[in-house]
Each structure stands twice: as C-alpha cells, then as structure tokens.
Structure 1
Amino acid sequence: MMVDMFANTANAILIIREQQNSRYIHDCTKSFCHVTGFNQEALIGSRLLSMPDSAISELWPLIDQMCGMISDKLPESHAEMDLTAPGNMHIFAELHVKPIRYANDSYYLLTFRDRSEHKWIDDLLVKHRLELSLVLTSAGSITSMRSYHEPIPFDRQTITMQPGQKFVADSDRERVRAILNTLRSRSDAAAESLSFKLQLFEDQYLAHALIKPFFYPDGSFRCFAVCILSVETLDQSDDKPIRNMTIAMEEYGQDEMNEPSFKLRLLMLKRNMTVTKLAETTQISLTTISNIRNGKIKKPQRLTAHLIAEQLGVSPDDIWGPI
C-alpha cells in the first residue's frame, strides 16, 4: 500500500485519491487513526465530504478544501486547526497537503503534525515574560529552542546537540529526573512549576520554569515543553542567587518579538483568531495566512496586510512597518 512509504514517520499521514471531482481516502497510517478515532477499515474508501459526524467533523471539509486549492500556481497548501481527539485530547494541528502521482492517477498526501506544545508556549507568551522555551523529546534531546531577550555567549547549535540532562546541575539531576518521570506517567497532562540549577558549561544559574508533558492520542508520551520564566546567577560558594539574568542564545541577538511573524502570532492569540478563521474572514487563502504567520512570507502585499490587520484591530504598520 502507498502508506508503507511513510511507515517510519511519527506524523499522521493520509493519502487521498481524486476520482470524478470527488476525493476519497485511499490509505492512512495508524497514527492518523489514533488522531481521528476511526480504524483503517472505516476510513479507507470513504468520501471526504461524506464522513459521519464526530468530534472531528470539521477536519474532513478542511482537508477537501486544501486539496481543491492545489494548482500549478499553488503546488502545496497549509492550514492549522484545533480539534478534539479521542479521549477528549485537545490538539493544535498543522496540516500540509501536496499532490503526488502514483500509477498515473492523482493523489494527495496530507501530513498532520501535532503542534500542541508550540501552541502552549505561544499562549504563555501572552501571559508571561519568558526568557527561554524549548521542547524536550522522549529521548531527552533538546529541540525547538527559542530565546526572547538579550544574548549570552553560548551557541544554540552546540546546546541542542547535547542531552537535556547535561544542563541540569549534578546536585539537582536526580530530583529533576524524578519529577519528569512523574509528569510523563500522569494522565492529566497539567503543567508543573519547577526550580532547578541550570548548568551552562562552567556556569550555574537558578532557573524557574513551567514544564508540561504532551502525549500521542494513543496515550504514549511524546515530549515536554519547557518555558523558563526567569534565570538568576548563583553565587558558587553558597548557591544563593545574586542577580537576575536574561538568558538567550547567540543567534537571537535581535529581539524575536520584533519579528512581524511573532507579532502576528501574538495578536492572533490575543484575539482568539485561528488561521482558518482569519482566512475565512479575510478571504485570503489558508496557505498564504499560514506562510505569513510562520515567517515564510516576510512582508505581504499591501491589500493582504490591510485585510489581516483590519481583522486584528491594528494598523498594518503595527505588524510589518511601512509597506
């Protein structure tokens, strides 16, 4: 089956076949079944616009719409949406559709990525001043590190190549490991406050953080999102904090909060505006909105910028500056 080509991916994959101007589910991975709550037998062969009502009913017409947008001028389409998976699990998903040719027939490949941990971090940015955020994988490695203020001389790439536990001081390592193990075994997935000694090579700091576990729809652990709220330099002689310190990675010398895509994400969060809703109200394509929000389009056309800013109650200059 076509989906065998994607057997090793962690993402949920759906293959859609187009026939007589209608689109049908041709194949899917088990991960996609876990997300939707349908088994493969119920999905394969079903017409997208004829799927039965369920908690994810809005997903099917969105996928059909994304497939219908594909053209020579628009070879791929993107969208984001909130949905409720089986077990009342709330997921913030990033959808990506592109056409594929197979045996001279027309198909579409949908990739469904769970980005809930990034949505949680973005939500926290509205409420708190964050120094640093990162994602800690199930294997313990650091990914998706972001910093938000003044830099210190540590290379981001060097840090992300190391296991996460290396950046916890020896005296705190067992305690932090026990807390993480408890969080990943809980079913409520609530965020937990944690203070620990942060070890950055030869220097130690007292870090105050919020940590939240995230899970796959089948209940298995996926990752931690870690938001560091503050960092204080420690007096090495008595382990007492002696001053506040802003921590950031070297590559982020320019304040990320001044980036238009960052401003747009925060405005959308404050207005509770999803990409799909913004696309509907502005009549701008989902792909264009997603590309602007993700920074792939740095400065949109004047009319596009005006329509987006108007829906968010600001001036285009507030997001992109003079256009």
Structure 2
Amino acid sequence: MPSDPKQLITLLKEPAAVCRVNNDKWELVQANRYLAELLGCKRNELLRPGGVRDFQLDDLLGDPRETMERLKAKEPVVVETAFPVGAGGTLQLEIHLSLLEEPESRVLLLASDASHAKWLQTELLRGCEQVLASGTFLPSLTVETLDIHTEEAPSPLRKKARLSVLDFLPVADQSLLQETLEALKKRGRSGEPKEVVLHTRKLRARAQKVRCCIAPFLNGSGKLVRYAFVVNRLDFLEQPEDPSVRLKMLMMEKGISATEMSRLTGLSMTTISKLRNGKIQTPRRLTSELVAAELGVRTTEIWTD
C-alpha cells in the first residue's frame, strides 16, 4: 500500500479520503474525486478550511482520542449519517475507518451510499410473503444484484449472473419498462419509486403478472447510479377461471392476433374466434396443443379440463 496519502486515494476507485488528528480535531488531508462526486461538491471544497457543510469530520467521527484508540485496537469503526443533497434528497452514508500504518496517526476513510439498501429493506418488510424478487440494476440495465425469494427458502437466494433486466420480460413489456425508467430519470428524485405492472418468465417456470416497484438512486452530483426494485406477485389476485380469458391474456402478452394465430397453427379463423369467445370450452387435443405450442405454455395453463 502506498505510504503517500495522495497517491493512495488516487489509486482507489471508490469514494475515499485521508484524515488525521491535529490539535485534538479531525483534519482532512486528501480526498479523491469519487468522494467529491458522491457528496455533490468539488474536491478543493472538501479540502479548504471549514470543509463542506454537513460533512464536518468532528461531528461525524466523534472524539478523536476515543476513535483513534479503537482503531489502534483494531476495532471496526463504521459511521452512519444522513447527508442532505440538492433537490431535497438525502444520502444514507456509511463511512468505514481504518488506521494507516504510515504515516503515523493517519486514517483512511471509505464512504458509500447505502440509500438503496435501506429502501430495499423497508420495501421487503412491507411486501412480506408476496415478494418474488428484489435487487438492483445499473443505468445500462445490467443486473447488479438479484435475490430470488422462494417459498422453500426462508432467506433469498442471490444470483450472480450478469443479465439485462430486459432478459426477464416479453418484448411487449420491455418498452413499458423503458418508459417507466425514462419517467423516473426525468423526475430526478432519488429514492422516489414508481410502480408498473409487468409480466415475467424467468422468475418462475411459467409467466407471471407482477407488480414491480422501482426507485432510482442518484449521488450528490445528481448522477444516476443505480435502480433498486422489488417484484411482488399479482397472480394470486387475478386468476381468470374462464379459459377464453386466459387465452386472450396469453395472446395479448405474446402480441399474437387472432389472424396470426390462425396462420401459425393452421386452424381456421372460425375455430380461433370460438376459442377466444368461449363458444369452445373444451377443444380437441390437437387444437389445444397447436395453440399452446405457439404461446409457449402447457395446454393445462389454458384449459384445465
């Protein structure tokens, strides 16, 4: 590890600073651009006398002697604080401190925003048993974290696959999600969610209608860092008993018209129309198999008999 504080924090690719105790007060020695961007200020503003309002080390880090004793004893020191930013937003900062071996009595400060984690915790408690999945994804739509909540497991199962959120949606719903995200970006308020009803296939073996609650999280500079989301099941609320209704819903999800279904299956338009309006409640086996195959489902997901 470099002994020069400036060189050290320059190498770090996360919000960081180096501080020291001077005349029984905390003093900031160096800070990198990532910390300035997180807090929404310029680096020289952090380093000038008086620093940045609401980021006063004496208030944040507590009594210098006590904190230094804990660090020398190799105790973990983590500080949590709310940091107000523009447009009425607030960062939930977590600051981890560690003692540098050289130069003596200097402390490395690593900061991160835990706003998305706290939001997820609150939403998961609210959703309880109805939650199917939760996690975060980046502005590029790449999934950052994904927790699958199953009935068998009391705790969520974390998936590490680097997928796009669009991979979980049928084509018809991808544009709806993108419109929702665009509306959240235009609103520009960190932590304020928006709900959208979507369909998904990859969270379970079959398609499900879900309510997805999505919140954007911005840093102090107003830059979008990530989205957090919670997916709740809706199918337990809406299970149409009429097979004709289920058929129309599946065709709508797939974007297949009656004319297209007739062409794909080779069945007459009359037969397709009767299936859709309920005049045929129990179709022949071949008919049901042809229709179900085009929709990518089992026949029993449309006709239970």
Same fold? TM cut 0.5: yes
Q: Once the 2 structures are TM-superposed, how far is the Cα of residue 13 of structure 1 from its aligned partner?
A: 1.1
Note if contact 2:25-2:58 (Cα within 8 Å) is conserved in structure 1.
no
RMSD of aligned residue pairs (Cα, Å) = 3.3
1:191 aligned residue (173, 181, 193): 193
Note if contact 1:211-1:226 (Cα within 8 Å) is conserved in structure 2.
yes
Note if contact 2:197-2:210 (Cα within 8 Å) is conserved in structure 1.
yes
- Residue 74 of structure 1 aligns to a residue whose secondary structure is coil
For these two proteins, the number of residue pairs brought into alignment is 232
Note if contact 1:36-1:86 (Cα within 8 Å) is conserved in structure 2.
no
Note if contact 2:82-2:92 (Cα within 8 Å) is conserved in structure 1.
yes
- Residue 227 of structure 2 aligns to a residue whose secondary structure is strand
Q: Once the 2 structures are TM-superposed, how far is the Cα of residue 192 of structure 1 from its aligned partner?
A: 0.6
Q: Are 2:63 and 1:62 aligned?
A: no
Change (3 A) 1:121 1:54: same
Listed as ranges, the gaps of 5+ residues in structure 2 are 251-305
Q: Which residue of 1 aligns with 2:43?
A: 40
Q: Once the 2 structures are TM-superposed, how far is the Cα of residue 35 of structure 1 from its aligned partner?
A: 4.4
Q: Which residue of 1 aligns with 2:161?
A: 160
Greater shift in the superposed pair: 193-202 or 62-71: 62-71
Structure 2 matches for 1:106-255, cutoff 5 A? Answer: 106-129=105-128, 130-131=130-131, 132-151=133-152, 156=157, 160-189=161-190, 190-200=192-202, 203-232=206-235, 237-239=247-249
Note if contact 2:211-2:232 (Cα within 8 Å) is conserved in structure 1.
yes
- Residue 101 of structure 1 aligns to a residue whose secondary structure is coil
- Residue by residue over 1:136-186, the C-alpha shift from the partner in whole angstroms, topping out at 9 and shown as x without a partner, is 12232223333555148xx95656332221111222112212221332232
Note if contact 1:191-1:210 (Cα within 8 Å) is conserved in structure 2.
yes
- Separation of aligned partners in 2, 1:3 and 1:232: 56
Structure 2 matches for 1:12-31, cutoff 5 A? Answer: 12-19=15-22, 21-31=24-34
The AA in structure 2 aligned to 1:62 is L
Q: Once the 2 structures are TM-superposed, how far is the Cα of residue 61 of structure 1 from its aligned partner?
A: 2.2
The AA in structure 2 aligned to 1:26 is V
Q: Are 2:95 and 1:95 aligned?
A: yes
Listed as ranges, the gaps of 5+ residues in structure 1 are 241-323
- Residue by residue over 1:186-214, the C-alpha shift from the partner in whole angstroms, topping out at 9 and shown as x without a partner, is 22343111111112176321111211111
Change (3 A) 1:206 1:14: same
- Residue 71 of structure 2 aligns to a residue whose secondary structure is coil
Change (3 A) 1:3 1:138: farther
Q: Which residue of 2 aligns with 1:252?
A: none
The AA in structure 1 aligned to 2:212 is A
- Residue by residue over 1:204-229, the C-alpha shift from the partner in whole angstroms, topping out at 9 and shown as x without a partner, is 21111211111111111111110112
- Separation of aligned partners in 2, 1:92 and 1:22: 24
Higher relative contact order (CA 8 A, sep 6+): 1
- Separation of aligned partners in 2, 1:216 and 1:148: 29
- Residue by residue over 1:80-126, the C-alpha shift from the partner in whole angstroms, topping out at 9 and shown as x without a partner, is 22221244321111111111133x43321111110111111222234
Note if contact 2:40-2:221 (Cα within 8 Å) is conserved in structure 1.
no
- Residue 200 of structure 1 aligns to a residue whose secondary structure is coil
Note if contact 1:55-1:84 (Cα within 8 Å) is conserved in structure 2.
yes
The higher radius of gyration belongs to 2
- Separation of aligned partners in 1, 2:37 and 2:58: 15
Q: Which residue of 1 aligns with 2:296?
A: none
- Residue 171 of structure 1 aligns to a residue whose secondary structure is helix
Change (3 A) 1:87 1:34: farther
Greater shift in the superposed pair: 22-31 or 138-147: 138-147
